Amino acid sequence: MWNKCISCNATWSDGQFTPGCQECGGYALSRPCPICSGRCQAVWNRDTYMSNKMKSPFWNGDCRLPEPEKQTYLVRTFVENTEDALVDAMNDLCGS
């Protein structure tokens, strides 16, 4: 049960995932480091229990970049996600 996506029924243990599926998140059981997009060569592994429970991808791993470089990527990701959320919120307000 834990090696499958509950949302789309893809079998992660067979390397399957469904593009666009929120629970799959674009990968099966492993993925390149999401902090630096794989620049550090680290591979993160899916927490299948949490992915199933929350219907969203959860990953375990550590970025291998030096701390200052890692922080740069984290800040950039936070700012980009915040900007996207603000744009979406503004569009929602304008559409109301």
Total number of domains constituting the chain: 2
* Backbone angles phi and psi of 82, in degrees to 5: -65, -40
If asked whether residues 44 and 77 sit together in one domain, one would say no
If asked whether residues 31 and 75 sit together in one domain, one would say no
Average pLDDT across each block of 10 residues of the chain; the chain has 96 residues. List them in order: 90 97 97 94 96 95 94 80 67 68
Residue 31 forms beta bridges with which residues? 44
Residue 70 is part of which domain span? Answer: 66-96
If asked whether residues 87 and 40 sit together in one domain, one would say no
- Residues 6+ positions from 7 with CB-CB distance below 8 Å: 21, 22, 23, 24, 55
If asked whether residues 45 and 81 sit together in one domain, one would say no
If asked whether residues 40 and 76 sit together in one domain, one would say no
State the pTM of this model: 0.75
- For residue 23, what pLDDT is reported? 97
- For residue 78, what pLDDT is reported? 72
- For residue 11, what pLDDT is reported? 97
If asked whether residues 29 and 42 sit together in one domain, one would say yes
If asked whether residues 52 and 70 sit together in one domain, one would say no
